[in-house]
Copies of this chain bind each other. A is one copy, B any other.
Amino acid sequence: MSAFDWSHVFATRSERMRASEIRELLKLLDQPDIISFAGGIPDPALFPVEAIRKAQDEILADPKLAAQALQYSISEGYVPLRRWIVDFMGKNGVPCTIDNVLITCGSQQALDFLAKMLLSPGDTALVEAPTYLGALQAFNAYEPRYDRLIPDGGNVTPQTYADAAAANGGRVKFAYVVPDFANPTGVTLSEENRRKLLELAADLEVPVIEDSAYQALRFEGEAVPSILSLDVAANGGDIEKTRTIYCGTFSKTLVPALRVGWIVAASPLIQKLVLTKQAGDLHSSTLNQMVMARVAETTYDANVVRAIDLYRKRRDAMMAALARSMPKGVEWTKPEGGLFVWITLPAGIDGAELLARAVAEERVAFVPGKAFFATDAMSNTIRVNFSSADEAQIAEGIGRLGRLIERSIG
């Protein structure tokens, strides 16, 4: 009897799901002599282990709390955690209620659910070039067409976007941005351009998905109001009239592996998303949500201060190393926060080929830039992160990388 032929039963959408190079790259992290600037992962030294342990113990030592923490719970999410988020959003210019909040398993699940709710095959998603690779992976399953979002409008009119979408047999369904210290570029969208983006979205009658994963990690300069807060202000303070979908996460500020993120938006969208959550995995881990509610309450502000302090020094070390080590013709961004720097190599140097040589010859890893483009990849780009390696490793690793690029040019 021959093996069952699975290819016969896969849906067309499954063909859009491809392995990313990041998966292979993460395996490199297991090799101790590699200096890795690849994964966008937080430094475990920042994890509030004791606060988490204390919260777990308090919950599990109380029979009533333990029974609640280990039992099925509502799809919307744990109410005290949603109240903390309401308070957090309120302090950041977004008055809302718990009916505007859904808890997700990290913001990756938020992006998956939003694409699931919004994209029919052939519809258009507007994304920046480059944009977050994980967003493209989440969206791909719903078979969109992509068009390049130019946040300041450039010379693209709303009608141009709409016509191109219609020509593909669908409609523009949303614009997706990482406005603060973007993954992968580290660049922040100005307030003016956030307003222009809201105007574009209004012209196209579509929502804006604001992926705020790095927003809290600002090292310097003045905070730019979130797109949702601008949208709320423009609508008389009424979140129910807004079109912005804010995706938040504790992964970069507290800890990733409890898988707790959230969506804040007008309640008609949240109500649909609650059904998606129920059909998707019933609810996020009750225990993890109860722990996160306690840890956020006691530890969030202090942990953000610690993270900013640690990552600022590393950003500074990376800026100094790049200035010292990179040959002429190499350019890079100067992020005011977040985890990433985007490097543009001289034309003709392919980031993926450079990675193979970097690992083999210099024991340094990063992510080739082309993984971050939905269409028309600029292959002479790479993303480096400054969150995992320490300052000495950054100086050493960027030095090695500079020498390799110098040899590649020469």
Residues of B within 8 A of A70 (CB): 44, 47, 49, 52, 255-258
| A39 interfacial by beta-carbon distance below 8 Å | yes
Choice from B17, B105, B242, B280 contacting A4 with Cβ under 8 Å: B242
A266-B3, A285-B285 known; A44+B17 contact, CB < 8 A: no
6 contacts between A and B (CB under 8 A): A1-B234, A11-B118, A47-B66, A49-B70, A109-B281, A257-B287
Interface residues of A in 62-81 (CB under 8 A from B): 63, 66-67, 69-75
A9-B174, A11-B120, A241-B1 known; A286+B272 contact, CB < 8 A: no
Choice from B53, B117, B288 contacting A57 with Cβ under 8 Å: B53
Cα distance A410–B10 in the bound complex, in angstroms: 53
Asked if A71 and B53 make an inter-chain contact with CB atoms under 8 angstroms apart, the answer reads no
Cα distance A266–B396 in the bound complex, in angstroms: 44
Q: What is the distance, in angstroms, from A252's C-beta to the closest C-beta of chain B?
A: 11
Cα distance A80–B12 in the bound complex, in angstroms: 34
Asked if B269 and A6 make an inter-chain contact with CB atoms under 8 angstroms apart, the answer reads yes
| A268 interfacial by beta-carbon distance below 8 Å | yes
Asked if A285 and B266 make an inter-chain contact with CB atoms under 8 angstroms apart, the answer reads no
Q: What is the distance, in angstroms, from A235's C-beta to the closest C-beta of chain B?
A: 6
Asked if B256 and A72 make an inter-chain contact with CB atoms under 8 angstroms apart, the answer reads yes
A105-B105, A106-B281 known; A257+B69 contact, CB < 8 A: yes
Asked if B10 and A118 make an inter-chain contact with CB atoms under 8 angstroms apart, the answer reads yes
Asked if B106 and A240 make an inter-chain contact with CB atoms under 8 angstroms apart, the answer reads no
Interface residues of A in 125-184 (CB under 8 A from B): 134, 137-138, 140-142, 173-174
Cα distance A143–B284 in the bound complex, in angstroms: 25
**Which of A18-26, A213-221, A340-348 is the contact stretch?**
A18-26
Choice from B17, B241, B282 contacting A275 with Cβ under 8 Å: B17
Residues of B within 8 A of A66 (CB): 44, 47, 49
A6-B272, A18-B275, A108-B279 are known contacts; what are 13 more A-B pairs with Cβ within 8 Å? A4-B242, A4-B243, A6-B207, A9-B174, A9-B206, A11-B116, A14-B276, A41-B72, A44-B66, A73-B257, A112-B279, A141-B279, A258-B287
